[in-house]
A and B are shown apart, each in its own frame.
Chain A
Amino acid sequence: MSSSETGIHPTFEKTARSFLDNSQLRSNLGHATRTIRDKRRGVVDEMPDWEELREAGRQIKQKVMQNLDHYLLQLETSVTRAGGVVHWARDAAEANRIILDLIKERGETEAVKVKSLTTDEIGLNKALAKEDIMALETDLAELIVQMAGDEPSHILVPAIHKNRSEIRDLFRDKLGKPDLTDNPAELTEAARRYLRKKFLSAKIGISGSNFAVAETGTVAVVESEGNGRMCTTLPQTLITVLGIEKIIPAWQDLEVFMQLLPRSSTAERMNPYNTFWTGTTEGDGPQEFHLVLLDNGRTQVLADPAGRETLHCIRCSACLNVCPVYERTGGHAYHSVYPGPIGAILTPQLRGLSDKSAASLPYASTLCGACYEVCPVKINIPEILVHLRGRVVRHNKNWGGIRGKVNPELMGMKWLAWTLRSRSRYERAQKMARKGQRWFMHDDVISKLPGMLSGWTAMRDLRPVAEQTFREWWRTRS
């Protein structure tokens, strides 16, 4: 697995803190997300049937999840019939091993890659590098990230945290072009020349996929630059990694998603490059096609009826672009290839709640609901966040040992619920708080609290309990 997917990571709040101090990141990110957010609104608002499309998208995905076993087998049959080979991978290690073997069997040491989150999820590049196989990212932004030895920070715009001059410096160094300016056209041209050579020599192409049609065995990649099409058409052998949730039942279903996806993701009416292939065709394109079907925790997500909807995601990144938390912290705080709201619900489900970093993600949200509003397949992200918080609480209660049972939040919440279940206890608590708060009051407000609550008062005052509560006032009336 890639470094972002393995090992022990700090919690969201810890990393967020350090990124909040990075003003360059914040301004890059703020600018980029606001621009794309406004553009998206424009191309969505012009669609009279947007709500119907969203609902259709939701229903198709729901049908897929309810019958995933059936569609997977159907897909295998269709792909095989069309000349492809299907492989099943239970987890990242299995998927990487399959791909490694395929490349080695062909005696190759280099592959060109289409930008793909799924291959990032399994840490394919690192796994290949370990055995001296170089997988070259060909999406411009991914290439930048790869050259910088960095991690992507946005699903769609992986280098969103880098600006032009940072990229110029990187290219000057890595492409051996000391005279490059930070003119975007010039930067793109330099990358293009470098990549062209690679496309023409590579024998192996590796891709992810946006959709796979069970009925026909057709696999789809949609993209903006055309480099993906180079990878999927020029090499002799094409290997595609497909998360099992990406299946759609029928060719006709594409009509829905090909409208939802580009408008939600790049705010375009249509993606510039839409590549569809079905198995292999003699004398045209790759002569070998391998499809690796990846589980890697997905069936575990499917098993939870209240969290399952997470698998409907088509990775458009609209939810990232509207998320006020993501806008401030950037993607790295999520310690996953899936950042933002979708990452906050997907990562903990894929990795499990014993992973402290993943378990902190459901709390990385104010539940403002902006993500749900834009999601093209209507994933109720806030509701799943709350559901996962519930799972985290239960997990800590059951597996956290004695520390889990006596943790201050759990005890506080239990006490509070007990208090709120009785009027007399509640009224007594109001009175006690009014007495107790005197120790913390200053200029008629509470400006310093101890323990957990100090997070509030570090930068905000707190209103004290009223000298006469509403109910006390009410009593004086009657």
Chain B
Amino acid sequence: MNISLFVACFNDTLYPETGIATVQLLERLGHRVDFPREQTCCGQVHYNTGYQDETVSLAKRFVDIFSDAETVVAPSASCVGMIREFYPKLAILSGDRKLIRDVDDLLPRVYELSQFLVNKLELEDVGACYPHRVTYHPTCHSLRMLRVGDAPLRLLKKVKGIDLVELPGAEECCGFGGTFAIKNADTSMAMLTDKIARIKETGAEVCTASDNSCLMHIGGALNRQREEVKVVHLAEILASTEAASTETNSPNSGYKKSGSQNSGSTESGPTKSGTPNP
């Protein structure tokens, strides 16, 4: 299949390893991946903060750039949630007939990574190997907006060597909420503190999710508190192979020396980084 990758601005800029892992995974599964370079952002930050007019222009851009794509895949549940849930509404609000039509036409071809693998490709075993103790946090937008259901868990269960542990109170929000984490920083931290306590209870080395935004939030506090637990995007776990995992036995993480982060996250092997420069 020809897949156009929407990497999401957030991943592009801060978490390139997630994009790289997605490319490696999809290519390993025999697909052709293309990265339309004009892409920037789906507009979620603007939309959620109340800047709807600004969002319309970004939605139009997105639709133009991907209109010819056979399939669009994004390793970001909240961006796909935004596109699926709100693009149609925004299009109607804008009154732009062409946009309404284009959105309608494009939407069925836009997938979040785990949904693409499980629902579209009907795959669960993607041939990954990741010998670590992992817990999965279902992010709110993946769970309640995009309704990915248990797709990520089904994929994780089939990963070789993984020790998957259930996260207590998994469905509770981590307190991120975009600008909420800044506007209501104290409340956000109170929520995050509870989430981190649950993660630590599991004894997992790695907390994974289908959104790097929430992982950045969780990882940001883990890092500050010098915790050993690392945050790793689902795509990176699924892209990991036996070859990579034998090189080293410590999982990759969202926080580490940026110089090493792009040497191909999955091949270079995990870098220990909960405590940078210990």
Contact call B52/A369, Cβ cutoff below 8 A: no
Residues of A within 8 A of B51 (CB): 390, 393, 413, 417
Contact call B177/A367, Cβ cutoff below 8 A: yes
Q: Which interface class (under 10, 10 to 19, 20 to 34, 35 or more) fits A?
A: 35 or more
CB contacts under 8 Å to B, within A422-462, are: 422-423, 426, 430, 433, 443-445, 447, 452-453, 455-456, 458-462
Q: Which of A20, A413, A421 contacts B49 (CB 8 A)?
A: A413
Q: Which of A329, A368, A455, A460 contacts B144 (CB 8 A)?
A: A368
Contact call A392/B50, Cβ cutoff below 8 A: yes
Residues of A within 8 A of B176 (CB): 366
Taken residue by residue from 1 to 23, chain B's Cβ proximity to chain A (1 for < 8 Å, 0 otherwise) reads as: 00000010101111110011001
Residues of B within 8 A of A201 (CB): none
Residues of B within 8 A of A388 (CB): 50
Taken residue by residue from 450 to 478, chain A's Cβ proximity to chain B (1 for < 8 Å, 0 otherwise) reads as: 00110110111111111111111110000
Does A261 reach chain B (CB closer than 8 Å)? no
Q: When chains A and B are docked, how far (Å) is the Cα of A13 from the Cα of B50?
A: 18
Does B109 reach chain A (CB closer than 8 Å)? no
Q: When chains A and B are docked, how far (Å) is the Cα of A456 from the Cα of B183?
A: 9
Contact call A456/B182, Cβ cutoff below 8 A: yes
Q: When chains A and B are docked, how far (Å) is the Cα of A459 from the Cα of B186?
A: 9
Taken residue by residue from 165 to 198, chain B's Cβ proximity to chain A (1 for < 8 Å, 0 otherwise) reads as: 0000001110111111111111111111000000
Does A276 reach chain B (CB closer than 8 Å)? no
Q: When chains A and B are docked, how far (Å) is the Cα of A392 from the Cα of B183?
A: 14
Residues of A within 8 A of B276 (CB): 443-445
Taken residue by residue from 404 to 431, chain A's Cβ proximity to chain B (1 for < 8 Å, 0 otherwise) reads as: 0000010001101100111100100010
Give the segment of B66-74, B129-137, B250-258 that binds chain A. Answer: B250-258
Taken residue by residue from 287 to 330, chain A's Cβ proximity to chain B (1 for < 8 Å, 0 otherwise) reads as: 00000000000000000000000000000000000001100110
Q: When chains A and B are docked, how far (Å) is the Cα of A126 from the Cα of B47?
A: 41
Does A164 reach chain B (CB closer than 8 Å)? no
Q: When chains A and B are docked, how far (Å) is the Cα of A13 from the Cα of B43?
A: 25
* Distance from B118 Cβ to chain A, minimum over Cβ atoms (Å): 21
Does B38 reach chain A (CB closer than 8 Å)? yes
Contact call A393/B50, Cβ cutoff below 8 A: yes
A324-B173, A389-B48, A444-B258 are contacts. A421–B188 as well, Cβ < 8 Å? no
* Distance from B3 Cβ to chain A, minimum over Cβ atoms (Å): 14
CB contacts under 8 Å to A, within B15-37, are: 15-16, 19-20, 23, 35, 37
Q: Which of B50, B54, B181, B277 contacts A417 (CB 8 A)?
A: B54
Contact call A20/B14, Cβ cutoff below 8 A: no
Contact call B37/A417, Cβ cutoff below 8 A: no
Residues of A within 8 A of B177 (CB): 365-368
Contact call A463/B255, Cβ cutoff below 8 A: yes
Closest B residue by C-beta to A366: B177
CB contacts under 8 Å to A, within B45-64, are: 45-52, 54, 57-58, 61
Does A338 reach chain B (CB closer than 8 Å)? no
Q: Which of A392, A421, A460 contacts B224 (CB 8 A)?
A: A460
Contact call A328/B179, Cβ cutoff below 8 A: no
Mostly helix, strand, loop or mixed at chain A's interface? helix
Q: Which interface class (under 10, 10 to 19, 20 to 34, 35 or more) fits B?
A: 35 or more
Taken residue by residue from 145 to 167, chain B's Cβ proximity to chain A (1 for < 8 Å, 0 otherwise) reads as: 10000000000000000000000
Contact call A366/B224, Cβ cutoff below 8 A: no
Contact call B259/A467, Cβ cutoff below 8 A: yes
Closest B residue by C-beta to A419: B40
Contact call A324/B12, Cβ cutoff below 8 A: no
Contact call B220/A456, Cβ cutoff below 8 A: yes
Closest A residue by C-beta to B254: A463
Does B249 reach chain A (CB closer than 8 Å)? no
Does A177 reach chain B (CB closer than 8 Å)? no
Residues of B within 8 A of A423 (CB): 37-40
Q: When chains A and B are docked, how far (Å) is the Cα of A392 from the Cα of B179?
A: 15
Q: When chains A and B are docked, how far (Å) is the Cα of A413 from the Cα of B189?
A: 24
Contact call B191/A445, Cβ cutoff below 8 A: no
Does A17 reach chain B (CB closer than 8 Å)? yes
Residues of B within 8 A of A465 (CB): 13-14, 258
A389-B50, A445-B276, A453-B182 are contacts. A420–B221 as well, Cβ < 8 Å? no
Q: When chains A and B are docked, how far (Å) is the Cα of A17 from the Cα of B187?
A: 7
Closest A residue by C-beta to B89: A383
For this complex, 25 residue pairs linking A to B, each with C-beta atoms less than 8 Å apart, are A325-B184, A329-B187, A366-B140, A368-B144, A369-B141, A369-B143, A370-B173, A386-B47, A388-B50, A390-B51, A393-B50, A417-B54, A422-B40, A426-B41, A444-B255, A453-B182, A456-B182, A460-B220, A465-B13, A465-B258, A466-B262, A467-B262, A468-B261, A469-B12, A474-B23
Identify 17 new A-B residue pairs, CB closer than 8 A, beyond the known A417-B46, A423-B39, A474-B23: A20-B190, A324-B173, A363-B183, A367-B141, A367-B180, A393-B51, A420-B9, A421-B58, A426-B41, A455-B181, A460-B181, A461-B220, A470-B7, A470-B12, A471-B37, A473-B20, A474-B19
A-B interface, 9 closest residue pairs, ranked by CB to CB distance from nearest: A366-B177, A389-B50, A460-B220, A455-B185, A369-B144, A368-B173, A417-B54, A470-B19, A368-B140
Residues of A in contact with B (beta carbons under 8 Å apart)? 12-13, 16-17, 20, 26, 324-325, 328-329, 362-370, 372-373, 386, 388-393, 409, 413-414, 416-417, 420-423, 426, 430, 433, 443-445, 447, 452-453, 455-456, 458-474
